[in-house]
Structure 1
Amino acid sequence: MNYQKPKGTNDLLPGEIEKWQFVEETARLLFADYRFSEIRTPAFEYYEVIARSVGDTTDIVSKEMYDFYDKGQRHITLRPEGTAPIVRSYVENKLYGPEYPKPYKLFYIEPMFRYERPQAGRLRQFHQIGVEVFGTENPALDVEIMAMAMDFFAQLGIQHVKLVINSLGDKESRANYRKALIDYLEPLEDQLSYDSKRRLHENPLRVLDSKEKEDQAIVASAPKILDYLNEVSLTHFNQVKKYLEALEIPYEIDHTMVRGLDYYNHTIFEIMAASPGFHGAQSTVCAGGRYDNLVEELGGPATPAFGFGMGIERLLLTLDAENIELPTMDVLDAYVVSLSDATDLESLKLVQAIRGAGYSANRDFLGRKAKAQFKSAAKEKAQLVLTMGETELAEEKVNVKEMSSGHEVTVPLEEIYENFDDVFATMLAFKKGE
């Protein structure tokens, strides 16, 4: 029997999960400032939802999806990315109705699943933070969402990032460019990698995204998509650049960046981490763009949209590379030390009363000596230790110690039960350095 976690997955254990919680809460607070609401979709979808949205020829659909037929012979896939399920939900629940705000702003924090070779920052079950906005084609929205992503990294203290943008244009611009690219690549087909030969006629723009050296040498001289933008597309892209400059957000243009999904059009972007501790390499930690046709393709009304996704695992690697220590809320407000079996009941009541007042509290359940209990209190970083012995019980009092300063007082039990707020504030006034 194999009682181990599946390859490409991780257990998130205490001591590590606190970092995840901090990152997620930072996202929730920031997104609330931008008036986003959270959405959660099923972990699996009908295969057609993903294949239709992402594209049959993409690596996600052709190589990486966990798809299967369930007991009812329905073709199901585990969710490989966030946008398609949310668009499906947007259409199915008619979130475009007049009773909903425009634009309609959503965010998600959910696990995704792809079958690929596990490596640092790339797992078979991974986790994404992402946003999707529906209902406006205004280029100012593109810039606002990119600015929000950059703001998120700034709030986490990540400094070594850069914004890279490109435009895929509208359908007309993309069709014209696709033809020009095929015309350029076909005479060089024998020199392309195996995957790029396959993509040449299925999805030629993906050749631009190849990491193979032989492909990169060819791509370096390929036609540039920005030269094929029609007036509408060029105006949109110029507005994006103008607004980024107005917000003083530095950016670079990469004409070979296409993103790996078929639904993108107009603005696409990546945020690259280039932390010194990241082996000197750049890595994409956030990516997204505009997708104005996907809602309609999944049966909804014509609805422009924009979004991004970022992998939490890769984000945590970036934080480690920049030696950023995230604050964790692991301080215990109060620890109750019980000195005998006779005080066990009162100790239980004390702990529950402190929790009822809105504070964190813990106690010993192993019948250990006072010294061992104080060690546990110190290990849990308790701010106060309340000691209950038989003498204190008889006198209806409890000894309270502020651990940082060592200051101790004896307090009537009635004060703990009726006004722990004042007791806590008074004792913390004795903390060292305050």
Structure 2
Amino acid sequence: MGYQKLKGTPDFLPEDTNKWQFVESKSRELLSRYQFKEIRTPIFEQFELFARGVGETSDIVSKEMYDFYDKGERHVALRPEGTAGVVRSYVENKLYGPEHQKPTKFYYIAPMFRYERPQKGRMRQFHQLGVEVFGSQNPETDVETMVLAMDLFKSFKIKNLKLVINSLGDVETRKVYRQALIDYLEPFKEELSKDSKERLYKNPLRVLDSKDKNDKKIVQSAPSILDYLNDQSSKHFETVKASLEALDIEYVIDSNMVRGLDYYNDTIFEIMTEDPNFGSNTTVCAGGRYDNLVEEVGGPETAGFGFGIGLERLVMLLENAQFEFPVIDALDAFIVTIGESTNKEATKLAHALRKNGMNVEREFLNRKPAKQFKTADKLNAQYVFTLGENELAEGTVNIKKLSTGEQIKLALNDLYNEDYKDLTAEIESRLKK
């Protein structure tokens, strides 16, 4: 009986992980420029953390969470998103203390888990690049973090992107708007989908986020939350818009956008792709402000802002754009061996080349030289180091540059006894002599 991976879970083979390593490495460079530091939190947490943080009426908690009781009868869940765990860590480790830099900026690159119907770009185990900023109510924090998200995509030369923004106001705004929305939706109660009927009185804002076609028609004429913003929230949103315009960043306002998580307030945003391979307006990044979540998890009143990017979708975007991923850890040298007597010397040579900074592979299967050269060519090796019985007797190694066919010989003792600052440069200089 054979084994297969579970539905909705991926295998990433070396040709895939090369792409992922490049994307992650390039992203880390940009995140460092914005002074974000990496944080790593557990894959599973207390179920209650996600239920309270994300919201019990959200699809994530009510339908998609992988939760179970462990051997100690603790109710735990695989993390369905990254923010709640980072907030828990922020509170538990007292990172809000005066000795810590404010605002505090974190990023994470990690797997998440949701039990949903697998489809293109949406898996049950997926990976997210997320950022969180704690300790700033300044609307410019919203702008800078959204600009970072846009810069991440632009750094890969991705086009056809649309920034969509909205404001959910503060707690008081949503109380007033909540009742106005209920008043609007009640006459349509029997026409709403089953999920929306359940949410109508528990969390009516979630009805605006329904994917049901009929629900979408109903909410088209719903009152706009932007008409209910108080002075403070309205000023905050106007500042965000003005700063985006000052940076020449185009945006669209969608007053029905509420996001799928219950902890947001004031500015929320999504970045959508208009890539025809994804369908129109597919979200590739989303986030917003959450000024009450730290307090909800047991910490002091602390402002927050963050976003998440699905790495599967980012890699797919690059593949669709025919992006040329560079080869990470390209092969510098392949050692060809001729005769069994060279076996031990090949190990010694490989060790010496690696000590001098080269990426090296060697022959282990005692194949004919022609097949070994074909392998070196297939692996795009820069040089082939050939060890035969003649070279062994002479104490030398033959070096061939595959791209030009140029060849030289070097003494093995020189390679073993000298520490070259740049062995490739040394070889090149000798090839030109």
Query: What is aligned with 2:31?
Result: 31
Cα RMSD between the aligned structures? 1.5
Contact 1:276 1:321 in 2 (8 A): no
C-alpha separation between the residues in 1 aligned to 2:83 and 2:312? Answer: 19
1:365 counterpart = 2:334: no
1:26-425 → structure 2 map (5 Å cutoff): 26-278=26-278, 280-417=279-416, 418-421=418-421, 423-425=423-425
Contact 2:329 2:359 in 1 (8 A): no
Q: Per-residue CA shift, 1:118-145, capped at 9, x if unaligned?
A: 1111111111000001001000000001
TM-score of the superposed pair, with normalisation by structure 2: 0.97
- Stretches of 4+ moved more than 3 A in 1? 419-423, 426-432
Q: Which sections of structure 1, spanning at least 5 residues, go unmatched?
A: none
C-alpha separation between the residues in 1 aligned to 2:41 and 2:413? Answer: 49
C-alpha separation between the residues in 2 aligned to 1:324 and 1:423? Answer: 31
C-alpha separation between the residues in 2 aligned to 1:368 and 1:15? Answer: 25
C-alpha separation between the residues in 2 aligned to 1:208 and 1:109? Answer: 30
1:397–1:108 distance in 2 versus 1, CA, 3 Å: same
Q: Per-residue CA shift, 1:158-210, capped at 9, x if unaligned?
A: 11111100000011111111111001000111121121111111111111111
Q: Per-residue CA shift, 1:92-148, capped at 9, x if unaligned?
A: 011111121000000001101111111111111111000001001000000001000
Contact 1:330 1:381 in 2 (8 A): no
C-alpha separation between the residues in 1 aligned to 2:398 and 2:127? Answer: 47
1:264–1:45 distance in 2 versus 1, CA, 3 Å: same
C-alpha separation between the residues in 1 aligned to 2:16 and 2:421? Answer: 31
Contact 1:133 1:306 in 2 (8 A): yes
Classify the secondary structure of the residue corresponding to 1:424: helix
1:423–1:214 distance in 2 versus 1, CA, 3 Å: closer
Residue-pair matches, total:
431
Could you tell which deviates more after superposition, 323-332 or 220-229?
A: 323-332
1:207–1:423 distance in 2 versus 1, CA, 3 Å: closer
C-alpha separation between the residues in 1 aligned to 2:380 and 2:419? Answer: 23
Structure 1 residue 276 displacement after superposition:
3.1
Could you tell which deviates more after superposition, 352-361 or 316-325?
A: 316-325
Structure 1 residue 429 displacement after superposition:
6.5
Give, as a single letter, the amino acid of the residue that structure 2 aligns with 1:195.
D
C-alpha separation between the residues in 1 aligned to 2:382 and 2:60? Answer: 50
Give, as a single letter, the amino acid of the residue that structure 1 aligns with 2:306.
G
Contact 1:177 1:225 in 2 (8 A): yes
C-alpha separation between the residues in 2 aligned to 1:286 and 1:127? Answer: 12
1:91–1:386 distance in 2 versus 1, CA, 3 Å: same
Identical-residue share of aligned pairs (%):
60
